[in-house]
Amino acid sequence: DTGVSQDPRHKITKRGQNVTFRCDPISEHNRLYWYRQTLGQGPEFLTYFQNEAQLEKSRLLSDRFSAERPKGSFSTLEIQRTEQGDSAMYLCASSKREAANTGELFFGEGSRLTVL
C-alpha cells in the first residue's frame, strides 16, 4: 500500500501525559498537512510543511503542540501535557501541488486520541 499511513491509529492517555503521532506521506509528495477533526465537524487546519520547512502553524494551536518533518519525508506531531479538549482525530494528508495538477490532498486513516 503506497497511501498515507499514520501511527498509532488509536491512543488513550491520561491528562498531563505527552503523546506523539507519526505520519508517512506518499513518497513523491512534497507537502504534508496536519488537521484535527472532532465529531460532526470538518477537518481543522493545524500546520503544514513543504519538504522539511514548516510554512504555517494555526494560531489556534497552543505552544503544547509541535510538529516536525526533519528530512522532508515522515512527520511527527507531539502534544505535550495533554488536556481533555485535545481528544480528537488527528488527520495527516499529503499532496504534490504543482501548477499542472489539482494538488488534491490524500488523507491517512487518522490517529484517534482520547484523553482521560
In degrees rounded to 5, what are phi and psi of residue 86?
-80, -10
- Containing H/E element for 37? strand 31-37
- Between 74 and 106, whose beta carbon lies closer to other proteins? 106
Interacting span for other proteins (CB under 8 A) from 18-26, 67-75, 80-88, 100-108: 100-108
Residue in 49, 7, 46 with CA at minimum distance from that of residue 32 = 49
Q: Of the two residues 74 and 107, which places its CB atom closer to other proteins in the complex?
A: 107
Pairing of strands 5-7, 53-57: unpaired
Does 109 bind other proteins (CB under 8 A)? Our answer is yes
* Residues 33-92, interacting with other proteins (CB under 8 A): 33, 35, 40-45, 48, 55-56, 91
Binding-site ranges for other proteins (CB under 8 A) = 31, 33, 35, 40-45, 48, 55-56, 91, 95, 97, 102-110
